[in-house]
Protein backbone atom coordinates (compact mmCIF):
# COMPACT_ATOMS: atom_id res chain seq x y z
CA UNK A 1 0.00 0.00 0.00
CA UNK A 2 1.32 3.46 -0.95
CA UNK A 3 1.79 6.11 1.73
CA UNK A 4 -0.59 8.97 1.11
CA UNK A 5 1.73 11.94 0.58
CA UNK A 6 2.28 12.11 -3.16
CA UNK A 7 3.14 15.38 -4.85
CA UNK A 8 3.34 17.09 -8.21
CA UNK A 9 5.18 20.32 -8.70
CA UNK A 10 7.34 22.40 -10.93
CA UNK A 11 10.83 22.58 -9.52
CA UNK A 12 12.70 25.84 -10.07
CA UNK A 13 16.28 25.74 -8.87
CA UNK A 14 19.80 26.92 -9.51
CA UNK A 15 23.00 24.97 -8.88
CA UNK A 16 26.47 26.34 -8.14
CA UNK A 17 29.95 25.06 -7.48
CA UNK A 18 31.47 26.47 -4.30
CA UNK A 19 34.57 28.66 -4.03
CA UNK A 20 34.74 27.64 -0.39
CA UNK A 21 32.68 25.68 2.08
CA UNK A 22 30.94 27.87 4.69
CA UNK A 23 32.47 27.98 8.16
CA UNK A 24 31.04 25.51 10.68
CA UNK A 25 29.22 23.47 8.02
CA UNK A 26 28.95 20.59 10.50
CA UNK A 27 26.67 22.62 12.79
CA UNK A 28 23.85 22.69 10.22
CA UNK A 29 21.17 19.98 9.82
CA UNK A 30 22.30 17.23 7.47
CA UNK A 31 21.21 13.91 6.04
CA UNK A 32 22.88 11.18 4.04
CA UNK A 33 21.24 10.68 0.66
CA UNK A 34 21.50 7.55 -1.45
CA UNK A 35 19.86 7.72 -4.83
CA UNK A 36 19.71 5.54 -7.87
CA UNK A 37 18.01 5.75 -11.24
CA UNK A 38 15.50 3.21 -12.52
CA UNK A 39 14.77 4.69 -15.95
CA UNK A 40 16.45 7.35 -18.07
CA UNK A 41 15.72 8.66 -21.55
CA UNK A 42 17.45 11.09 -23.91
CA UNK A 43 14.72 13.74 -23.49
CA UNK A 44 15.62 14.52 -19.88
CA UNK A 45 12.99 12.25 -18.29
CA UNK A 46 14.04 9.96 -15.47
CA UNK A 47 12.72 7.96 -12.55
CA UNK A 48 14.77 8.10 -9.37
CA UNK A 49 14.75 6.24 -6.07
CA UNK A 50 15.99 8.17 -3.04
CA UNK A 51 16.70 7.36 0.57
CA UNK A 52 17.18 10.51 2.64
CA UNK A 53 17.48 9.58 6.28
CA UNK A 54 14.36 7.49 6.92
CA UNK A 55 12.40 9.00 4.01
CA UNK A 56 12.07 6.77 0.94
CA UNK A 57 10.71 8.05 -2.36
CA UNK A 58 10.29 7.45 -6.05
CA UNK A 59 10.50 10.59 -8.19
CA UNK A 60 9.75 11.23 -11.84
CA UNK A 61 11.46 14.30 -13.35
CA UNK A 62 11.10 15.79 -16.80
CA UNK A 63 13.40 18.29 -18.53
CA UNK A 64 16.59 19.85 -17.21
CA UNK A 65 17.91 23.30 -16.40
CA UNK A 66 16.24 25.76 -14.03
CA UNK A 67 12.63 24.61 -14.41
CA UNK A 68 11.51 20.98 -14.33
CA UNK A 69 8.39 18.95 -13.73
CA UNK A 70 8.65 16.75 -10.66
CA UNK A 71 6.29 14.08 -9.29
CA UNK A 72 7.20 12.33 -6.06
CA UNK A 73 5.68 9.35 -4.27
CA UNK A 74 6.71 8.20 -0.82
CA UNK A 75 7.54 4.51 -0.60
CA UNK A 76 7.47 1.91 2.13
CA UNK A 77 10.72 0.15 3.04
CA UNK A 78 9.53 -3.01 1.26
CA UNK A 79 8.74 -1.10 -1.93
CA UNK A 80 12.10 0.67 -1.87
CA UNK A 81 14.04 -2.55 -1.23
CA UNK A 82 12.19 -4.31 -4.07
CA UNK A 83 13.21 -1.59 -6.57
CA UNK A 84 16.71 -0.64 -5.34
CA UNK A 85 18.58 -3.56 -7.01
CA UNK A 86 17.42 -2.26 -10.42
CA UNK A 87 19.56 0.89 -9.92
CA UNK A 88 22.94 -0.92 -9.87
CA UNK A 89 25.44 1.09 -11.92
CA UNK A 90 23.33 4.27 -11.64
CA UNK A 91 23.78 5.37 -8.02
CA UNK A 92 25.34 8.12 -5.96
CA UNK A 93 25.78 9.02 -2.31
CA UNK A 94 26.04 12.49 -0.79
CA UNK A 95 25.63 14.34 2.47
CA UNK A 96 23.16 17.24 2.23
CA UNK A 97 23.46 20.21 4.58
CA UNK A 98 20.59 22.69 4.92
CA UNK A 99 21.72 26.29 5.45
CA UNK A 100 19.01 28.93 5.91
CA UNK A 101 19.72 32.23 4.16
CA UNK A 102 16.98 34.84 4.36
CA UNK A 103 13.83 33.40 2.79
CA UNK A 104 15.77 30.65 1.03
CA UNK A 105 17.31 27.34 2.04
CA UNK A 106 20.70 26.58 0.53
CA UNK A 107 21.26 22.86 0.14
CA UNK A 108 24.94 21.97 0.09
CA UNK A 109 25.69 18.53 -1.31
CA UNK A 110 29.02 16.93 -0.41
CA UNK A 111 29.47 13.91 -2.67
CA UNK A 112 30.95 10.59 -1.57
CA UNK A 113 32.48 7.65 -3.41
CA UNK A 114 33.80 8.24 -6.93
CA UNK A 115 32.78 11.92 -6.70
CA UNK A 116 34.55 12.55 -3.39
CA UNK A 117 35.61 16.21 -3.28
CA UNK A 118 32.72 17.55 -5.38
CA UNK A 119 30.63 20.07 -3.44
CA UNK A 120 27.68 21.94 -4.94
CA UNK A 121 24.98 24.26 -3.64
CA UNK A 122 21.37 24.19 -4.84
CA UNK A 123 18.73 26.82 -4.16
CA UNK A 124 15.03 26.28 -4.95
CA UNK A 125 12.61 29.09 -5.74
CA UNK A 126 8.83 29.51 -5.71
CA UNK A 127 8.78 31.36 -9.04
CA UNK A 128 10.89 32.55 -11.99
CA UNK A 129 11.09 36.13 -10.69
CA UNK A 130 12.73 35.21 -7.38
CA UNK A 131 14.99 32.77 -9.23
CA UNK A 132 16.24 35.51 -11.58
CA UNK A 133 16.67 38.01 -8.73
CA UNK A 134 18.72 35.69 -6.50
CA UNK A 135 22.13 37.05 -5.59
CA UNK A 136 24.54 34.27 -4.75
CA UNK A 137 26.69 34.67 -1.64
CA UNK A 138 30.38 35.42 -2.21
CA UNK A 139 31.38 31.87 -1.28
CA UNK A 140 29.46 30.47 -4.28
CA UNK A 141 31.45 29.81 -7.43
CA UNK A 142 30.37 29.23 -11.01
CA UNK A 143 26.73 28.52 -11.75
CA UNK A 144 26.32 25.03 -13.26
CA UNK A 145 22.51 24.81 -13.43
CA UNK A 146 22.49 23.97 -17.14
CA UNK A 147 25.81 22.10 -17.19
CA UNK A 148 24.79 18.45 -17.47
CA UNK A 149 28.20 17.32 -16.17
CA UNK A 150 26.95 18.30 -12.69
CA UNK A 151 23.47 16.77 -12.88
CA UNK A 152 22.88 14.02 -10.34
CA UNK A 153 21.72 11.80 -13.17
CA UNK A 154 25.03 12.17 -15.02
CA UNK A 155 27.06 11.75 -11.83
CA UNK A 156 25.18 8.57 -10.90
CA UNK A 157 25.91 7.01 -14.29
CA UNK A 158 29.68 7.60 -14.29
| Beta-ladder partners of 8 | 71
CATH number among 2.40.320.10, 3.40.50.300, 3.40.640.10, 2.60.40.420, domain 6-156: 2.40.320.10
- How many Å apart are CA 144 and CA 158, to the nearest integer? 18
Mean pLDDT of the chain: 91
Residues designated as active site: 37
Q: Enter the pTM of the model.
A: 0.88
H/E element, 81: helix 77-83
For the segment 74-109, what is each residue's pLDDT rounded down to a tens digit?
999 999 999 999 999 999 999 999 999 888 999 999
Return the domain boundaries, the chain: 6-156
Amino acid sequence: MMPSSDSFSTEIERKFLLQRVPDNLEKYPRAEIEQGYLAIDSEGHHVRLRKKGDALSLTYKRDHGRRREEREIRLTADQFEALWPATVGRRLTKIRYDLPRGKRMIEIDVYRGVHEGLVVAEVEFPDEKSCAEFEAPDWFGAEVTSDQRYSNLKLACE
